[in-house]
Every structure is written in structure tokens, then in C-alpha cells.
Amino acid sequence: MIKKIKFKLIILSVLIISCTPNTDYIEKIQNPELFQEAMQNLTDIIVYDIFSPPVASRVYLYPSIAAYETMRFSNKNKYAEEIYTDIERYRSLVDVMINFEDGEFLETRMQEFNNYLDLFL
């Protein structure tokens, strides 16, 4: 019985320790030299192995997309306030146009804009 309890405690402690988030990568990806060094290593390999241009372009594409997605994930809220402010400014301009222009056409466009906006909010 005691062995079972010890085993469960060990498993529980391992789970607790392993479930802590690892955020070390956030500081590392802020350094542009890391990306430049990786691309230089990739270029050295491509030159050494003499890849054809289509293959070389794919070899550059995949790590570049992966790096972009990693940076995008870490900076996802960086520009959110600025984008939201721009959207609100656009909305107020459309409201002014509705008041002074053909309301029916602009009303449909405003509804379409609001539908797209709801997808992001």
C-alpha cells in the first residue's frame, strides 16, 4: 500500500514539474542575429551541397515560414491596440459617410465590415 502511495506521489510530482510552461524561447527569438546566423548556416549548406534553384528556394522557404510563425505567436498582442484604433477610425469615417451620402449602399458595406470585424473580436 505504501509503495502505491509513493509511486503516485512520484508520478504526481513529475507531472507538476513537467507542466510548467517554458518561456525561454521568447527572449531568444527577439534577437535578430539568431535568425541571421541560422540563415547563414543554411546558405553554407546550400552552397556546399549545390542545390538547384527550385530546391534551394524551398529549403529557404520552410525555415523562414517557421521563424515567422514563431515570432508572430510571441508578438501576437503587440499591435492589437493600434489595429483596433485604426478599425474604430474607419468605422467612424463610414458613419460620417452614411450621414452625408447614399445611406443604403453604405449601410450594406458597414454591415459587411462589422461582420468581418466580429471574426476578430
Q: pLDDT tens, 13-51?
A: 777 777 777 777 777 777 778 888 888 988 888 888 888
Q: Which residues contact 113 (CB under 8 A, 6 or more apart)?
A: 90, 91, 94
The verdict on 62 and 92 lying in the same domain is no
The verdict on 55 and 37 lying in the same domain is yes
The verdict on 36 and 65 lying in the same domain is yes
Question: Which of 5-9, 11-15, 62-66, 82-86 reaches the highest mean pLDDT?
Answer: 62-66
Answer yes or no: is 53 within a domain. Answer: yes
Question: What is the per-residue pLDDT for 79?
Answer: 66
Question: What is the per-residue pLDDT for 118?
Answer: 74
Question: What is the per-residue pLDDT for 35?
Answer: 81
Question: What is the per-residue pLDDT for 17?
Answer: 74
Cα-Cα end-to-end distance for the chain: 53
Answer yes or no: is 104 within a domain. Answer: yes
Q: How many domains does one find in the chain? A: 2
102 confidence band (pLDDT: 50, 70, 90): low
Answer yes or no: is 9 within a domain. Answer: no
The verdict on 37 and 57 lying in the same domain is yes
Tell me the residue range of the domain where 58 lies: 30-76
Answer yes or no: is 25 within a domain. Answer: no
Rounded-to-integer distance, Cα 3 and Cα 5, Å: 5
Read off the pLDDT of residues 66-92 as tens digits, 9 standing for 90 and up: 887 777 766 666 666 777 777 777 777
Answer yes or no: is 22 within a domain. Answer: no
Question: What is the per-residue pLDDT for 58?
Answer: 82
The verdict on 68 and 96 lying in the same domain is no
